[in-house]
Structure 1
Amino acid sequence: MLTQRFDADLIADLQSHGVRLQGAETGLASRKGGAGPTDHKAMVLGGMSVMVPVHTAPAAQSPFLLETPDEFGNAILRRGGEVAGLVRLPKQPRFYGLTTQDGVPYSKIAVLHGQDVLATTVLQSCVRYVSAEKSCQFCAIGASLAAGRTIERKTPAQLAEVAKAAVALDGVKHMVMTTGTPPGKDRGAAILAESAAAVKAAVDLPIQVQCEPPDEDVWFERLKAAGADALGMHLEAVTPEVRARIMPGKAQVPLSRYMSAFEAAVPVFGRGQVSTYILAGLGDTREAILDMSETLAAMGVYPFVVPFVPVSGTALANHPAPTAEFMRALLEPLAGIIRKGGLAAEDIKAGCGKCGACSALSAYERRL
């Protein structure tokens, strides 16, 4: 009898190495290019959703191999030839087969992440992406648009229609709305507010919105009033030197503005309902990430630390992923920092930290 229990260390190993696929695509298709987790495939390990790289250079050399799944989506995972356990591949969601009233396939409006998270990039373009001198080197927001897999601007009506169907047909439990950064001082907060309001009017679904810190803190109140339950403002890197090198445009919004924005947003959304995404492996040291995470957790901000994944077609396509040893040495003490701050992934109402599929962090939290 194969075990379906996977410990945190093994998840960290999988996400650093990636996995080779023995058979053709089965179940929920892997994603190539675009915003959010890409070049990954969703897998369910011991009841936990995990996004595992499958289309990256490290994955092609991975010691992990996923055998061809059976008709139910169950597949044997091997490591170096030895059986590591049983994996289930989530099925393609039913809402993907529908089309909006104005003729756009639902899958071009929002996609399923993990098992039960609806995710959308409301604006699939960014003022920083058009310039090599400004763009984030890890970003592939334009790739899925260029490939015709999405549309640039999702309207509030389209998002509401798709969200309602995803809840009814596929049991979606929360939603992530992110955006490329448009021109203007609100940095995307305005389109997120109108989008969240439309979805909440159509279906009772917890929503996390994600954008760069707007220039005015009043936007946090507006986003909350519009129906956003949680907020993500993503640092990606935690030291000025790495930020300037990896994301020269986004680094123009200084760390000091992020910190003041966090301070203003936590009282609006509540402790643990404001989070930030940190990519480990871009050059920040383990100590720098842990120091920043300790500061954030004390403020009530959940530091969602994930391993950097080199995405094909980006400037960092050949940048190495962090080693599994680095991630284990980082995530285990980070879980303790989060617990000390009174935070927990399971307490987040919606968003990346609650889903947890892109990192082994929540699995380390469960060890405590």
Structure 2
Amino acid sequence: MTITNNAPRDAQFTTRVDVAIRGIRVAAPVHREGGAGPSDDGHVLFQGMQSAIPVNQDSPYLVDDGRLLLDGEDTGIEVSPVARPKFYDLSTADGVSYEQIARLHGAKVLATTVVQTCIRYDPAERCRFCSIEESLKSGSTVAVKTPAMIAEVAEAAWRLDGVEQMVMTTGTSNGRDRGATHLARCVRAIKKAVPNLMIQVQCEPPADLKTISDLYEAGARSIGIHVESMDDDVRKRWMPGKSRVSLDEYRAAWREAVRVFGRNQVSTYLLVGMGEDPDEMVAGAQELIDMGVYPFVVPFRPLRGTLATDVDKVPAPHRSVLHDITFRVSQALVAAGMRGADQKAGCAACGACSALQTAGG
């Protein structure tokens, strides 16, 4: 007997939010541990959509023969693990594993942190959800990826595994560019090796806004300028160093990025679970949408190596709160005609870390 995908869309969205918090029991060959956040996740296809979901052996959700079961009952939702990519088996001429240089996210996205250190990583300055340098300490990556190194891996991932887009972020540097200059060098090298690979870059607002044009001219076609919260009190508690970059500086950078990259090619993370009022978070998301910036709503989830988890013991948000905020923001995105899938590259285009795409946003 053939089993059809019989879960209605609203049930799919509710389940997608639920598993984002409660996780799933699944063997996930492609997974992410540590790094800049937001979670330790296994990468699966959830009803065909790229999804990064916590692997939790205590979860009531189990993946069995391509189906998602809840307490042993079929939910009507198809879930399948993303296969380990072929490029993971390769190394550079001097012995650096390609997997240490860039990772597969979702099924078709290559991601890398080009500089794995950050000037804000001192405990008094550090973003409490971030563990960017922990993966470096564990030996799972290298401190600085050169343009040639990243281009080599990108070409192999494109050729061997059909990667369609790339996300490049960086730890913040001391320079006025806050790390964007090295990003631009890497973009140029990748576009020379793989001209058709779409690239998103991610950085803090640069002091000189011309840097945003430099990134576009290098070949990036989407940009993430991540604020995580539009509430200054939340920012000061969770991001003591980064919060000194004012919201007015972020707004100026977003407006310039929309001018350069275009409407809905600029995005920012909004993290649910840091104590922000839900109505205020939705209002902040609406302000971003009105600017042409996509608010990528993602739950805070406990991540080993972060201050929020190891020191503060902050739990994940309640799934009802995540459901409410994600749904309302998705409706605002639909009303504005903005979809993550319409971005050329990046986190919103991939959609794996959020339930927004499941809700139509």
What's the TM-score once normalised by structure 2's chain length? Answer: 0.93
- Checking the alignment, whether the CA contact within 8 Å between 2:28 and 2:42 is kept in structure 1 is no
Question: Per the alignment, in what secondary structure is the counterpart of residue 316 of structure 1?
Answer: helix
Aligned residues: 351
Question: Per the alignment, in what secondary structure is the counterpart of residue 283 of structure 2?
Answer: helix
Structure 1 position 19, deviation (Å): 1.9
Corresponding residue of 2:34: 33
* Structure 1 pair 13–3 and aligned structure 2 pair: CA distance change class (3 A): farther
Q: Which amino acid aligns with 2:252?
A: S
Mapped partners of 1:98, 1:2: distance in 2 = 39
Unaligned runs of 5+ in 2: none
- Checking the alignment, whether the CA contact within 8 Å between 2:209 and 2:253 is kept in structure 1 is yes
Match of 1:279 among 266, 271, 276: 271
* Structure 1 pair 175–298 and aligned structure 2 pair: CA distance change class (3 A): same
Q: Which amino acid aligns with 2:100?
A: K
Question: Per the alignment, in what secondary structure is the counterpart of residue 349 of structure 1?
Answer: coil
Structure 1 position 20, deviation (Å): 3.3
Corresponding residue of 1:171: 162
- Checking the alignment, whether the CA contact within 8 Å between 1:4 and 1:87 is kept in structure 2 is no
Corresponding residue of 1:333: 328
Q: Which amino acid aligns with 1:11?
A: R
Question: Per the alignment, in what secondary structure is the counterpart of residue 308 of structure 2?
Answer: coil
Mapped partners of 2:132, 2:59: distance in 1 = 26
Mapped partners of 1:218, 1:5: distance in 2 = 50
Mapped partners of 2:211, 2:71: distance in 1 = 51
Mapped partners of 2:287, 2:278: distance in 1 = 14
- Checking the alignment, whether the CA contact within 8 Å between 2:44 and 2:50 is kept in structure 1 is yes
**Matched-pair identity in %:** 45
- Checking the alignment, whether the CA contact within 8 Å between 1:5 and 1:45 is kept in structure 2 is no
Structure 1 position 27, deviation (Å): 2.8
- Residue by residue over 1:166-192, the C-alpha shift from the partner in whole angstroms, topping out at 9 and shown as x without a partner, is 000000000000001011111111111
Question: Per the alignment, in what secondary structure is the counterpart of residue 359 of structure 2?
Answer: helix
Mapped partners of 1:171, 1:359: distance in 2 = 23
- Checking the alignment, whether the CA contact within 8 Å between 1:19 and 1:60 is kept in structure 2 is yes
Match of 1:114 among 106, 117, 126: 106
Superposed counterparts of 1:213-224, under 5 Å: 213-224=205-216
- Residue by residue over 1:35-77, the C-alpha shift from the partner in whole angstroms, topping out at 9 and shown as x without a partner, is 34541101111111111112xxxx454322334xxxxxx4443
Structure 1 position 4, deviation (Å): 4.5
Moved more, 36-45 or 211-220: 36-45
Question: Per the alignment, in what secondary structure is the counterpart of residue 158 of structure 2?
Answer: helix
* Pairing 1:231–2:223 present: yes
Superposed counterparts of 1:157-306, under 5 Å: 157-203=148-194, 204-306=196-298
Structure 1 position 101, deviation (Å): 2.8
Corresponding residue of 1:46: 47
Corresponding residue of 1:20: 25
Mapped partners of 1:107, 1:212: distance in 2 = 25
Match of 2:62 among 55, 61, 65: 65
Corresponding residue of 2:127: 136
* Pairing 1:342–2:337 present: yes
Mapped partners of 2:176, 2:74: distance in 1 = 53
- Residue by residue over 1:211-268, the C-alpha shift from the partner in whole angstroms, topping out at 9 and shown as x without a partner, is 0000011001100000110110001122000000011000010111101111111110
* Structure 1 pair 264–279 and aligned structure 2 pair: CA distance change class (3 A): same
- Checking the alignment, whether the CA contact within 8 Å between 2:125 and 2:240 is kept in structure 1 is yes
Moved more, 340-349 or 163-172: 340-349
* Structure 1 pair 217–183 and aligned structure 2 pair: CA distance change class (3 A): same
Mapped partners of 2:305, 2:151: distance in 1 = 32
Mapped partners of 2:32, 2:153: distance in 1 = 19
Mapped partners of 1:275, 1:86: distance in 2 = 29
Structure 1 position 322, deviation (Å): 1.3
Mapped partners of 1:37, 1:100: distance in 2 = 29
Corresponding residue of 1:353: 348
- Checking the alignment, whether the CA contact within 8 Å between 2:38 and 2:129 is kept in structure 1 is no
Mapped partners of 2:243, 2:258: distance in 1 = 22
Corresponding residue of 1:153: 144
Structure 1 position 335, deviation (Å): 1.2
Q: Provide the aligned C-alpha RMSD in A.
A: 1.5
Corresponding residue of 1:71: none
Question: Per the alignment, in what secondary structure is the counterpart of residue 278 of structure 1?
Answer: strand
Mapped partners of 2:218, 2:88: distance in 1 = 27
What's the TM-score once normalised by structure 1's chain length? Answer: 0.92
Mapped partners of 1:61, 1:289: distance in 2 = 31
Mapped partners of 1:147, 1:108: distance in 2 = 11
